[in-house]
Amino acid sequence: MKTNEIRNKFLKFFEKKSHVIWPSDSLVPQNDPTLLFTGAGMNQFKDMFLGKGNLKFKKATTCQKCLRTGDIDNVGKTASHHTFFEMLGNFSFGDYFKKETIEWAWEFLVQELKIPEERLSVSVYKEDQESYEIWAKHIGVPKPRIYQYGEKDNFWPANAPLLGPNGPCGPCSEIFYDQGEKAGCGRKECEPACDCDRFVEIWNLVFTQYDRTEGGKLVPLPHKNVDTGMGLERMARVIQGVQTNFDIDIFNPIIKSLEEITQLKYNGQIENAMLMRRIADHVKACVFCISDGVLPSNEGRGYVERRLLRRAIRDGTQLGVTDCFLYKLVPVVSNVMQEYYPDIKQRRENIARIVKSEEEKFHETLELGTARLKELMDALQKNRQKFLSGQEAFKLYDTYGFPLDMTESILNEKGFTVDKDGFENELKKQRLQARTSSQMTGQVFDTGPLSKIKDISKGTEFLGYNECACEAKIIALIQGDQLVDKVIAGSEITVILDQTPFYGESGGQIGDTGVLESNGNHVRITDTKKNNDFILHIGKVVKGELRTGSLVHARIDTQRRDSIRKNHSATHILHYVLRKVIGQHAEQAGSLVTPDRLRFDFHHFSGLTKEEILRIEDMVNEIILENVPVAVKELSIQDARNAGAMALFGEKYGELVRMASIGDFSKELCGGTHVNYSGEIGLLRIIGESSVAAGIRRIEAMTGIAALNRYREKERILQEMCDILSTSEDKLIPKAQDLLSELKNLHKEIHKVKQKEIRGKIDSFVENAKEVSGVKIIARKLEDATVDDLRKTIDILMKSAKEMAIVLGTAQDGRVTIVAAISPGLVKRGLHAGAVSKEVAKLVGGGGGGRPDMAQAGGQWVDKLDEALRFATELLSKKLLDGVS
């Protein structure tokens, strides 16, 4: 039985048991900032478990995309560890409980999948007698095959009663598949809890029936939930009777491609196989990440993805592949997964491009590291040492991303070794440091103010598609992170209403601004955000007060909203045109729609040419001028897809979606607000094109009056330029060029004149120089000179005699600058230009210093310069007479 078949059978089975087949959540959890990635089927139902969700059904079944990196070190080594995997599950939100759950699980395994009963064993929580009885009496599982374990194995979250976290929890019952004595440790008394491979856990049934409160007290929940999880790949392995998850049908083609790329044979036992398995796992994980909108980057989710890619690339080099190769696996993954994940197929070229560009980047990193390591080896050689210190190896790893095993093998080749213990020590230090300053709470369920609001309301109804004002009731007021009943004038506040015309920031469209009013009370709303199904009005009470439960008149700034609508519809047209002009791969990767401008990020591998930009701008404006109708309608996701609507990378859509179509051109799924006819946009001008990340470009544009104003402003500047240069527009450029070259010539002229002037002075300086024991002392003032002039003068003066001491000063812009120079012979005798300049500068209210032969100083008292220079002469004379040496 193929993996796809198992997935289908599972979902259909529970549909028959009146469950709703619900789509997988994105790998990027929506509305859950505590999680990097979706790691279990129940994540998207957290609110439903707490009785706060607003889904219309109580029974659901899903096949959830999951990503976990906790066990990453085991991936490839064991038969069943993955980073990315699919989790089948059935859920009850206060509906059925243990009996049906167990009954259906058994029915599915034995009747649908035809697993022989004697192969199955189960475990229950030692204090969960109810489940034990159901298994033993109702199902008839022989008692020796029902195991009773503690809270480490059969409680969710593991060890929750003792260690927490607080929140919903409960006992669980696990079902195991027995692979037979040969597969495991061989001990007669072997059982599911044994570490060996004999018993495979195939299904975990969690009965969420308690709320854990402070101190580990378990309070029964008023409505009991079921949350089950079956690893799809593991199930497929059992059904297909193969050794590891990587031998099932959806991994076979990936492994096969790897055999072709590496020219090596996949053999389950040897080291190479482990590497191949890991590559297969990681590349699949990355394909799904990218398709859910996560790009490789240096932080957060993007960084996790980058690490996965890099591990896979490293494994590839271990297998002897030196070129980029991972991207070649993307179409293979897409092929095996396309049936249930059509998006992956549609986007495989973009995904492959992103993977390839990341591979190229990593090869660069490796090259840099290799070069650095060579330097280190040279240093070792020079010092006749054989060991590279742990610190150095760690720095190579930590700062330059160069893997230890690579460092080691390069060193070994040249007869060096590395201090591995030292390396481990450094690594431990860093771990400790990171852990102690980590802020992760470990909280599974949200307990903030919004969670409390969910007890009393399902969400805010958005009326803003048709209305710009309405009456509304205040459901809640949040100040800081506290719920309050009343707020007074002057307070910063977040207001939640039962219904509202305000659009909460989402889908790239910025939130509305406006006012909330009721007799004598006035709140200015400066921003609106969306959280789950609530719309948060953020603002300040200007006058009067607000109370929970009271009524207000909510009104948005319609002019601002109009500008936003223009920009939003224009964004859709731009998206459509972009794909026409540069190719279908140019899909949206991000978007920001504000009243002033729009920003659109899209997938593309190189910068746009001037011609392309012009063409895009022209085509967008043609559609605007055609004044085609913009229609927005609600329909089922399936109908929308059939109509050919664009869905976005990483967006998760519900059953009912809004589709915005602009004439016969663009069709996109979109929750935002739009104009009625394209002509309302007026015009669009692209004001910039740039890069945001590897493979992602950005266009910024303006529409309507804003675009007009921008070009008016440019025209004004142009006009002003013409006025200043007293010329006409057509002669502006040659005129500016003429002026510039004239300016340049003048600069040169001035320079020459100055040089001449200086030369003139130089002779008199030399003639009038004071001479002390054969050394010429010059301390003079130059009018209106720069530091550079002073230096150059000194350079010339220096040539006039063998031993000299020179101090030159100038006053410019109310500041004094002094440069001092001492000839080499005098420097040897101990005279120091730095010391001289320091002392001289004191007289002009400043300080100074520099090298023995050349130094610089400055000060503020311009009128003291002459005095300071006289002092310089005396000082130098005295030092020479005293015989500095």
Partner RNA sequence: GGGGACGUAGCUCAGUCCGGGAGAGCGUCUCGUUCGCAACGAGAAGGUCGGGGGUUCGAUUCCCCUCGUCUCCA
List residues binding RNA (CB under 7 A). Answer: 297-300, 303-304, 306-307, 310, 361-362, 365, 395, 397-401, 427, 430-431, 433-435, 437-440, 693-694, 787-788, 791-792, 795, 815, 834, 837-838, 841, 846-851, 854-860
In whole angstroms, give the CA distance from residue 169 to residue 221: 9
With tokens 């029915």, the residue in question is 107
Least distance (Å) between residue 737 CB and RNA: 13
**Nearer CB in complex with RNA: 191/358:** 358
Q: Which is nearer to RNA, 722 or 787 (CB)?
A: 787
Using CA atoms, how far apart are residues 509 and 513, in angstroms rounded to an integer? 13
Query: Among residues 557 and 839, whose Cβ is nearest to RNA?
Result: 839
Per the DSSP assignment, residues forming a β-bridge with 71 are none
CB 622 to RNA: min, Å: 35
Chain mean position to CA 73: 24
CB contact at 8 A, 848 and 834: yes
Query: By C-beta, is 480 or 814 nearer to RNA?
Result: 814
At its nearest, how many Å lie between RNA and the CB of residue 60? 31
CA-CA distance, 577 to 579, in Å (whole number)? Answer: 5
In angstroms, what is the minimal distance from the CB of 94 to RNA? 35
Amino acid (one-letter) located at 10: F
Task: State which residue, 719 or 737, has the beta carbon closest to RNA.
Answer: 737
In the three-class reduction of DSSP (H, G, I as helix; E, B as strand; rest coil), residue 54 is classed as coil
Least distance between RNA and beta carbon 441 (Å): 11
CB of 869 to RNA, least distance (A): 16
23/401 with CB nearer RNA: 401
Q: How far is the CB of 109 from RNA (least distance, A)?
A: 36
Which amino acid type is present at position 843? L
For residues 597 and 508, the answer to whether their CB atoms sit within 8 Å is no
Question: Which of 103/398 has CB closer to RNA?
Answer: 398
Query: Cβ 856 to RNA, closest distance in Å?
Result: 4
As a whole number of Å, the CA-based R_g of the chain is 38
Q: How far is the CB of 851 from RNA (least distance, A)?
A: 7
Query: Among candidates 407, 141, 184, 291, which has minimal Cα distance to 132?
Result: 141
Query: Smallest gap, in angstroms, from Cβ of residue 357 to RNA?
Result: 10
Residue 618, classified by CB atoms within 10 Å of its CB into exposed (0-12), middle (13-18) or buried (19+), is exposed
User: Which residues make beta-bridge pairs with 19?
Assistant: none
Q: Cβ-count burial of 426 within 10 angstroms (0-12 exposed, 13-18 middle, 19+ buried)? A: buried
Nearer to RNA, 361 or 829 (CB): 361
State in angstroms the smallest separation of the CB of 397 from RNA.
6
Q: 631 has which bridge partners?
A: 661
Query: How many CB atoms neighbour CB 562 within 10 A?
Result: 17
Structure token digits, residue 691: 């890069």
Amino acid identity for residue 438 in this structure: S
CB 437 → RNA: shortest distance, Å?
4
Peptide bond into 157 cis (omega under 30): yes
CB of 443 to RNA, least distance (A): 14
Q: How many CB atoms lie within 10 A of CB 267?
A: 10
In this complex, which beta carbon is closest to RNA, that of residue 504 or of residue 695?
695
C-beta of 817: minimal distance to RNA in Å?
A: 7
Of the two residues 529 and 815, which places its CB atom closer to RNA in the complex?
815
Distance CA 818, CA 871 (A): 13
Kindly state the smallest distance separating residue 818's Cβ from RNA, in Å.
8
CA nearest neighbour of 71 among 84, 61, 58, 60: 84
Outline where 768-851 has alpha helix (H). 787-798, 824-828, 833-842
* Residue number with CB closer to RNA (191 or 305): 305
Q: For RNA, which is the closer residue by CB, 776 or 838? A: 838
Residue 536: CB minimum distance to RNA, A: 20
Q: Which is nearer to RNA, 248 or 388 (CB)?
A: 388
How far apart (Å, rounded) are the C-alpha atoms in residues 421 and 418? 9
Q: What is the dihedral of CA 34, 36, 38, 42, to 10 degrees?
A: -10
| Residue 152 DSSP one-character state | T
Does residue 564 contact residue 594 with C-beta atoms inside 8 Å? yes
Instruction: Read off the amino acid at residue 459.
Output: G
CA distance 39 to 285: 12
Q: How far apart are CA 30 and CA 671, in angstroms?
A: 15
Beta carbon nearer to RNA, 528 or 856? 856
- The nearer residue to RNA, 34 or 433, going by C-beta atoms, is 433
Residue 453 vs 843, nearer CB to RNA: 843
Of 219 and 434, which has the nearer Cβ to RNA? Answer: 434
The least CB distance from residue 432 to RNA, in Å, is 8
Runs of H (alpha helix) within 121-218: 129-133, 160-163
Give the three-class secondary structure for 600.
strand
At 559, give phi and psi (nearest 5°). -65, -40
CB 710, CB 665: distance < 8 Å? no
Query: Phi and psi for 562 in degrees, rounded to 5?
Result: -60, -45
HEC-encoded secondary structure of 528-570? EEEECCEEEEEEEEEECEEECCCEEEEEECHHHHHHHHHHHHH
**C-beta of residue 79 within 8 angstroms of C-beta of residue 196:** no
